[in-house]
């Protein structure tokens, strides 16, 4: 399908082709789904809400519940006050959530709806909560939307805690349910009682029980969020997605805070492990040391098949940063590292990482760009592997390059969301997937005399 992509790269200002991001409300919706008994509410037209639910549902293979203010012509001209007022009443009457998390869309932002004042005027049932995040989709990306909803949760739910509690707050950023479980397990190995915000474990991967329930048993509990300011420390993961919520927490509650990369790969998982050690004062458990040792051994054993291989890594900035680090640990060259999210810090942190390995001159790093651009780069200088979301499969087909799916969205494979990418276990899993792709390609292309059973 992409055979006609031209090799020649010309500067484009007015058009994005095959974007490497989606819109802000998708992130706000996913973030809100990680709060226990929360109904995400899209303040705009039904079409937007359907799209956001669909993309989440296709990735997680679970229904993403959400409601909509259902704008039609009237609300588009005169504002959505009455739509939101009616919606809030209906949602509490019919779906009985503990909290409604409202986010805006292009339409409600463009007409200038004053959503906060609408909510202030709405009669909210006793014990229930309504929060709101501004998520204009013509700026940022779904990662910014996720971050904005995090800030709304902190600003509108967390209160000054007069007494410190013994918990440690963890901001995982946009990760999968399987990652949330792994992050909590690692924290518990240090004797830490974590508050993971948001917590997708058991929300977007609910077990099959034969009975459908709107709200899974998972998600961060509201009392925990209210008390999060009294935690003894905060570990925020993801320099792009978690930076704003972490700095808000520092400002509001003066929490001892560590902002670290998503714990993807060995070095970045080490950072998480050391942060847990610092927050708990406990020693690193022997079993965790062994788990790390096994991944290092795997790296050494397999290096003949990964060393020097060129890879294009693309997708959301924090997962791309982590995957780039893992590829470098495998001896690979991250030839192209791109994200659609418009954050210049991405180029700085990836550039610094590449410099540590001395390969920065060989690599192209770009934020706020698209897959069309990456395809053009590949046409000029090919790579051995693509590492990113499902949208790269068209480039993989056109250029006959193996692809390993990771990040958001993965629309054409299963089981990725219930397993971890983070931690030493996640590193092992990703190394296996990458090696599988590279070694299968070596087998496929081998001549008869070079085709070996033992590799
Ligand atoms: S109109 Fe805006 S909010 Fe709606 S789907 Fe499109 S980009 Fe997203």
C-alpha to C-alpha distance for 154 and 26, rounded to whole angstroms: 19
Domain-terminating residue out of 139, 159, 187: 139
Domain presence at residue 133: yes
**Global confidence as pTM:** 0.97
Same domain, 291 and 430: yes
Same domain, 311 and 361: yes
Regarding the beta carbon of 48 and ligand 1, being less than 6 Å apart is answered yes
User: DSSP string of 337-391?
Assistant: EE-SS--THHHHHHHHHHHHTT-GGG-EEESS-BHHHHHHHHHHS--SEEEE-GG
Q: What integer pLDDT is reported at residue 243 of this predicted model? A: 98
Regarding the beta carbon of 25 and ligand 1, being less than 6 Å apart is answered yes
Q: What is the 3-state secondary structure (H, E, C) of 314-350?
A: ECCHHHHHHHHHHHHHCCCEEEEEECCCCCCHHHHHH
CA of 372 to the centre of ligand 1 (A): 21
C-alpha to C-alpha distance for 440 and 295, rounded to whole angstroms: 21
Expressed as residue numbers, the domain containing 414 is: 287-449
Mutate to test the pocket of ligand 1, among 47, 66, 70, 105 (most ligand atoms within 8 A of CB): 105
CA of 36 to the centre of ligand 1 (A): 26
Q: What integer pLDDT is reported at residue 99 of this predicted model? A: 98
The ligand 1 atom at the shortest distance from the C-alpha of residue 106 is 2
Q: What integer pLDDT is reported at residue 22 of this predicted model? A: 97
Residues in the chain: 455
Regarding the beta carbon of 51 and ligand 1, being less than 6 Å apart is answered yes
Q: The domain that contains 200 carries what CATH number?
A: 3.40.50.1980
Residue with tokens 């990735």: 59
Domain-terminating residue out of 237, 268, 283: 283
Regarding the beta carbon of 19 and ligand 1, being less than 6 Å apart is answered no
C-alpha to C-alpha distance for 335 and 382, rounded to whole angstroms: 9
Indicate the pairing of strand 67-68 with strand 99-104.
unpaired
Instruction: For residue 123, give every residue at least 6 positions away whose Cβ sits within 8 Å of its Cβ, in sequence order, or none.
Output: none
Planar angle of CA 279, 280, 284, nearest 5 degrees? 110
Decide: helix, strand or coil at residue 415: coil
CA of 21 to the centre of ligand 1 (A): 12
CA of 420 to the centre of ligand 1 (A): 30
CA of 196 to the centre of ligand 1 (A): 29
**What contacts 24+ positions apart, CB below 8 Å, involve 270-274?**
272/183, 272/186, 272/235, 272/237, 272/422, 272/423, 273/186
Domain presence at residue 268: yes
Q: What integer pLDDT is reported at residue 282 of this predicted model? A: 97
Regarding the beta carbon of 49 and ligand 1, being less than 6 Å apart is answered no
Q: What is the pLDDT of residues 205-222, one digit of tens each?
A: 999 999 988 898 999 999
Residue with CA closest to ligand 1 atom 4: 48
C-alpha to C-alpha distance for 227 and 209, rounded to whole angstroms: 32
Domain presence at residue 16: no
Residue with CA closest to ligand 1 atom 1: 106
Same domain, 341 and 431: yes
Same domain, 110 and 239: no
Q: What integer pLDDT is reported at residue 276 of this predicted model? A: 98
Could you give the number of structural domains in the chain? 3
Residue environment code for 28-54, b if the CB has 16+ CB neighbours within 10 A, otherwise e = bbbbbbbbbbbbbbbbbbeebbebbbe
Regarding the beta carbon of 259 and ligand 1, being less than 6 Å apart is answered no
Residue spans of alpha helices (H) in 204-308:
222-226, 243-253, 266-280, 286-306
Same domain, 299 and 436: yes
Same domain, 327 and 402: yes
C-alpha to C-alpha distance for 10 and 265, rounded to whole angstroms: 35
CA of 106 to the centre of ligand 1 (A): 6
Planar angle of CA 53, 57, 62, nearest 5 degrees? 125
Angle between the N-to-C axes of helices 177-189 and 286-306, in degrees from 0 to 180, rounded to the nearest 10: 130
Same domain, 321 and 435: yes
Same domain, 391 and 441: yes
Regarding the beta carbon of 137 and ligand 1, being less than 6 Å apart is answered yes
Domain presence at residue 241: yes
C-alpha to C-alpha distance for 453 and 455, rounded to whole angstroms: 6
Same domain, 246 and 307: no
Residue with CA closest to ligand 1 atom 6: 48
Same domain, 291 and 270: no
Regarding the beta carbon of 106 and ligand 1, being less than 6 Å apart is answered yes
Same domain, 263 and 359: no
CA of 48 to the centre of ligand 1 (A): 5
C-alpha to C-alpha distance for 314 and 66, rounded to whole angstroms: 29
CA of 41 to the centre of ligand 1 (A): 14
Decide: helix, strand or coil at residue 229: helix
C-alpha to C-alpha distance for 352 and 341, rounded to whole angstroms: 19
Domain-terminating residue out of 283, 303, 335: 283
Domain presence at residue 7: no
Residues in the chain, pLDDT under 50:
none
Contact (CB, 8 A) for 407 and 324: no
Q: What is the pLDDT of residues 50-94, one digit of tens each?
A: 999 999 999 999 999 999 999 999 999 999 999 999 999 999 999
Same domain, 314 and 421: yes
- CA distances, 341 to each of 111, 241, 324, 371, 443 (Å): 25, 10, 16, 12, 36
Domain presence at residue 415: yes
Domain presence at residue 271: yes
Domain presence at residue 69: yes
């Amino acid at each position: 399908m992409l055979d006609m992509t031209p090799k020649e790269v010309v500067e484009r200002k007015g058009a994005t082709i095959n974007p490497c991001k989606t819109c802000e409300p998708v992130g706000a919706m996913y973030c809100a789904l990680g709060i226990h008994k929360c109904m995400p509410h899209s303040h705009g037209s039904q079409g937007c809400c359907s799209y956001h639910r669909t993309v989440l549902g296709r990735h997680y293979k679970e229904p993403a519940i959400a409601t909509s203010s259902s704008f039609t012509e009237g609300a588009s001209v005169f504002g959505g006050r009455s739509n939101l007022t009616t919606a809030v009443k209906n949602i509490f009457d019919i779906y009985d959530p503990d909290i409604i998390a409202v986010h805006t869309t292009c339409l409600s932002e463009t007409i200038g709806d004053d959503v906060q004042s609408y909510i202030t005027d709405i009669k909210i049932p006793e014990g229930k909560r309504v929060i709101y995040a501004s998520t204009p989709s013509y700026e940022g990306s779904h990662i910014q939307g996720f971050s904005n909803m995090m800030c709304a949760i902190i600003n509108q739910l967390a209160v000054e805690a007069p007494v410190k509690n013994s918990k440690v707050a963890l901001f995982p950023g946009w990760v999968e349910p399987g990652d949330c479980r792994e992050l909590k397990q690692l924290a518990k190995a240090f004797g830490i009682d974590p508050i993971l915000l948001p917590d997708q474990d058991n929300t977007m991967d609910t077990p099959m029980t034969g009975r459908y329930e709107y709200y899974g048993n998972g998600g961060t509990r509201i009392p925990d969020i209210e008390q999060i300011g009294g935690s003894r420390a905060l570990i925020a993961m993801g320099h792009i997605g978690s930076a704003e919520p972490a700095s808000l927490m520092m400002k509001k509650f003066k929490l001892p805070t560590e902002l670290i990369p998503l714990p993807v790969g060995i070095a970045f998982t080490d950072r998480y492990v050391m942060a847990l050690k610092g927050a708990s004062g406990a020693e690193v458990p022997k079993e965790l040391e062994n788990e790390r040792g096994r991944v290092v051994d795997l790296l050494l054993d397999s290096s003949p098949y990964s060393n020097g291989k060129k890879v294009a890594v693309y997708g959301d900035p924090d997962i791309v940063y982590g995957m780039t680090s893992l590829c470098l640990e495998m001896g690979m060259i991250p030839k192209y590292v791109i994200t659609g999210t418009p954050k210049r810090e991405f180029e700085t942190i990836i550039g610094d990482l590449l410099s540590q390995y001395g390969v920065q001159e060989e690599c192209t790093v770009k934020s706020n760009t698209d897959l069309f651009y990456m395809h053009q780069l590949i046409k000029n200088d090919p790579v051995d592997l693509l590492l990113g979301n499902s949208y790269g499969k068209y480039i993989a087909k056109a250029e006959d390059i193996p692809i390993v799916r990771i990040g958001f969205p993965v629309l054409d494979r299963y089981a990725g969301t219930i397993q971890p990418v983070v931690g030493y276990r996640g590193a092992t899993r990703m190394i296996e997937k990458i090696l599988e792709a590279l070694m299968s390609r070596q087998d496929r292309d081998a001549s008869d005399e070079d085709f070996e059973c033992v590799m």
